């Protein structure tokens, strides 16, 4: 194919994706569903007529795209932000995935013509929440920070667990000599090696980014892409979870005080969007609408059971010893969005040539679309109904600019109605001596603060702080968020 024609096609698809994203944002349709629809429209059953049935190529594209999305999700947060939710997130990512896989497998065995192992395999494929869907949805919601961070940390950790279960169950189905012990060993090896690689390379990347010289500052995004690729590749080559490793390295880089952090976050946010477009469009091409009616009713029933019964039960089991209220558990249950990860895992099943692989893939499609349309579109309204949202201001443009080469950094903090600093004066905030509240954004006003200025719920504080003190400021913010 001529190079010019290739670029024309790629440019046309990307331009169409921008228009689709614009339409999705205005109509409230999740971008995941919109991009899947674009892929199906371009496919052999649609107007585009593109013949594509290479499940292995779709899997490879999906894996690379997921790595980019997970790295961006880790980069946009920090270890300190997730520290307070580490235990419940870890339980949801492990025990929650196993409970979801088993209960969904039981439902799938009753709804589809699958063997017991094939049914549990379907359960494992849809057991993880989706990083792309969760990160994108939480960006535009005002859910309490602790709940939002639990969902963020869970989705970063449960993908490796679901992937390991899926790979192990495929092996079990194809090799009669395989057993439960082999599956358990595979899961432990994948998670253990992924954790080791993520911690080691994360520490290395943190050291390197903290010392990146000014002279090659323009290459910071190149270095971050290299860190992501190396972490995933090293872990995968030695038999570990590349997804866990790349997420942990993203977390480490995002936690490192660096003058390049904002630049990297902006770059990888764009890269993650491009990855979503590529992944969802390719996966949409792999879906053949004329094959879906045969599993439509059973697929819809499985999706409903997963949303309304199975996910809430898995959340309850995983958080029974954690300090969540009934309303918060209900929100965590409803926040288990399914997205690209189950579809990518479905391509693993499809490319493995398991007898019922196509049935499993088509059932996964219904689970994902229903979850994205119903849960994704209603997450914030449900949170408001449950009373688990925090009052926060509208997005505002920072009233100050701080240059990339400055030793200072401008960080913002949204004051919720349940935060400890609501009602306190600026002089009582407990900031380090070298940090100060530069501006308070209140509604449409910007207020130059005095020591006596009282902080109100809904305020956004812009704090000017030396970059070297960023970890200390995160600890201060954690104290500010404690409930009164």
Question: Is residue 283 classed as helix, strand or coil in its secondary structure?
Answer: helix
> Do the domain assignments include residue 5?
no
> Are 281 and 339 contained in the same domain?
yes
Tens digits of per-residue pLDDT, 69-99? 889 888 877 676 677 788 898 999 999 999 9
In a domain, 15, yes or no: no
The DSSP 8-state label assigned to residue 426 in this structure reads G
The reported pLDDT for the residue numbered 309 is 95
Total number of domains constituting the chain: 2
Say if residue 343 is in the same domain as residue 436.
Answer: no
Neighbours of 80 (CB within 10 A): 16
Q: What pLDDT is recorded for position 484?
A: 46
10 part of a folded domain: no
For residue 233, the model assigns a pLDDT of: 95
DSSP 321: T
C-alpha to C-alpha distance for 124 and 99, rounded to whole angstroms:
10
Backbone angles phi, psi at 231, to 5 degrees: -65, -45
Give the dihedral sign, CA 403/405/408/412. Answer: positive
- Give the per-residue pLDDT at 14: 83
- Does residue 137 share a domain with residue 238? yes
CA 349, CA 218: separation in Å to the nearest integer?
41
Q: pLDDT for 186-226, tens place per residue?
A: 989 999 999 999 999 999 998 888 788 877 778 889 999 99
Q: Are residues 224 and 92 in the same domain?
A: yes
Residue 82: closest CA among 483, 478, 482, 479: 478
pLDDT tens per residue, the chain (484 residues)? 677 887 888 888 888 888 887 887 777 677 777 888 888 888 877 777 777 778 888 888 888 988 998 898 888 776 766 777 888 989 999 999 999 999 999 999 999 989 999 999 999 999 988 766 676 667 666 787 788 888 888 887 788 889 889 989 999 998 878 888 889 999 899 999 999 999 999 999 988 887 888 777 788 899 999 999 999 999 999 999 998 999 899 988 887 767 777 788 888 888 988 888 888 888 888 878 777 888 889 999 999 999 999 999 999 999 988 878 999 999 999 988 887 788 888 888 888 878 888 899 889 988 988 988 888 888 888 988 898 886 544 545 555 555 554 567 888 888 887 788 888 888 888 888 888 898 898 877 888 888 889 998 888 899 988 877 776 787 788 778 765 4
Would you tell me how many other CB atoms lie within 10 Å of the CB of residue 266? Answer: 11
CATH of the domain at 106: 1.20.1530.20
Is there a single domain that holds both residue 375 and residue 432? Answer: no
Phi-psi label, residue 354: left if phi above 0, alpha if psi -120 to 50, beta otherwise: beta
- Judge if 138 and 238 occupy the same domain: yes
Phi/psi for 425 (5° steps) reads: -85, 160
SS in 3 state form for 46-80?
CCCCECCCCHHHHHHHHHHHHHHHHHHHHHCCCHH
413 and 380 in a single domain? The answer is no
Do 450 and 414 share a structural domain?
Answer: yes
Are residues 246 and 163 both part of a single domain? yes
Rg of the chain over all Cα atoms, to the nearest angstrom: 23
The answer as to whether 285 is a domain residue is yes
- Domain containing residue 45: 29-386
Are 81 and 178 found together in one domain?
yes
Q: How far apart are CA 410 and CA 433, in angstroms?
A: 15
Tokens at 387, concatenated = 């009373």
Within a domain: residue 11? no
Per-residue pLDDT, 136: 67
* Secondary structure of residue 419 in the 3-state scheme: strand
| 344 domain-assigned | yes
Q: pLDDT tens digit string along 106-129? A: 999 999 989 999 999 999 999 988
Q: Same structural domain for residues 428 and 289?
A: no
Q: What is the per-residue pLDDT for 337?
A: 86
The reply to whether 91 and 129 lie within a common domain is yes
In a domain, 255, yes or no: yes
Give the Cα separation of 320 and 297 in Å (integer).
Answer: 33
Question: Positive or negative CA dihedral for 338, 339, 341, 344?
Answer: positive
pLDDT for position 13:
81
Q: How far apart are CA 243 and CA 260, in angstroms?
A: 24
Give me 221's structure tokens: 């995004």
């Amino acid at each position: 194919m001529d190079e010019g024609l290739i670029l024309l096609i790629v440019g046309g698809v990307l331009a169409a994706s921008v228009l689709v994203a614009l339409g999705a944002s205005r109509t409230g349709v999740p971008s995941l569903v919109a991009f899947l629809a674009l892929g199906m429209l371009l496919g052999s059953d649609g107007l585009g007529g593109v013949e594509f049935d290479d499940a292995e190529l779709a899997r490879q594209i999906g894996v690379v795209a997921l790595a980019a999305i997970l790295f961006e999700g880790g980069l946009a947060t920090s270890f300190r932000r997730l520290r307070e939710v580490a235990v419940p997130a870890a339980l949801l990512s492990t025990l929650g995935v196993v409970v979801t896989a088993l209960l969904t497998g039981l439902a799938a065995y009753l709804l589809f013509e699958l063997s017991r192992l094939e049914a549990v395999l379907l359960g494992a494929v849809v057991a993880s929440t989706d990083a792309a869907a969760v990160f994108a949805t939480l960006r535009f919601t005002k859910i309490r920070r602790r709940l939002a961070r639990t969902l963020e940390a869970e989705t970063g950790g449960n993908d490796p667990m679901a992937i390991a279960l899926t790979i192990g169950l495929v092996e079990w189905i194809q090799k009669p000599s395989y057993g439960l012990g082999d599956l358990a060993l595979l899961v432990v090896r994948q998670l253990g090696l992924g954790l080791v690689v993520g911690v080691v390379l994360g520490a290395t990347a943190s050291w390197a980014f903290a010392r990146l010289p000014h002279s090659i500052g323009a290459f910071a995004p190149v270095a971050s892409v290299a860190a992501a690729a190396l972490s995933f590749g090293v872990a995968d080559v030695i038999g570990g979870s590349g997804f866990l490793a790349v997420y942990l390295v993203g977390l480490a880089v995002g936690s490192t005080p660096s003058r390049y952090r904002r630049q990297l976050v902006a770059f990888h946010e764009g890269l993650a969007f491009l990855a979503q477009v590529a992944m969802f469009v390719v996966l949409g091409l792999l879906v053949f609408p004329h094959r879906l009616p045969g599993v439509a009713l059973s697929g819809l029933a499985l999706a409903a059971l997963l949303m309304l019964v199975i996910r809430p039960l898995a959340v309850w089991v995983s958080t029974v010893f954690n300090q969540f209220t009934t309303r918060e558990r209900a929100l965590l249950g409803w926040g288990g969005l399914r997205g690209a990860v189950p579809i990518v895992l479905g391509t693993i099943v499809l490319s493995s040539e398991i007898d019922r692989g196509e049935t499993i893939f088509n059932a996964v499609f219904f689970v994902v679309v229903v979850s994205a349309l119903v849960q994704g579109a209603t997450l914030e309204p449900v949170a408001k109904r449950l009373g688990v949202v925090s009052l926060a201001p509208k997005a505002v443009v920072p009233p100050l600019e701080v240059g990339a080469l400055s030793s200072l950094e401008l960080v913002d903090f949204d004051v919720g109605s349940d935060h400890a600093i609501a009602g306190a004066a600026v002089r009582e905030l407990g900031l380090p001596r070298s940090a100060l509240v530069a501006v308070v954004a209140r509604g449409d006003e910007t207020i130059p603060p005095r020591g006596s200025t009282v902080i109100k719920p809904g305020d956004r504080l812009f704090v000017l702080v030396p970059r070297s003190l960023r970890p200390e400021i995160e600890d201060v913010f954690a104290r500010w968020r404690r409930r009164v």
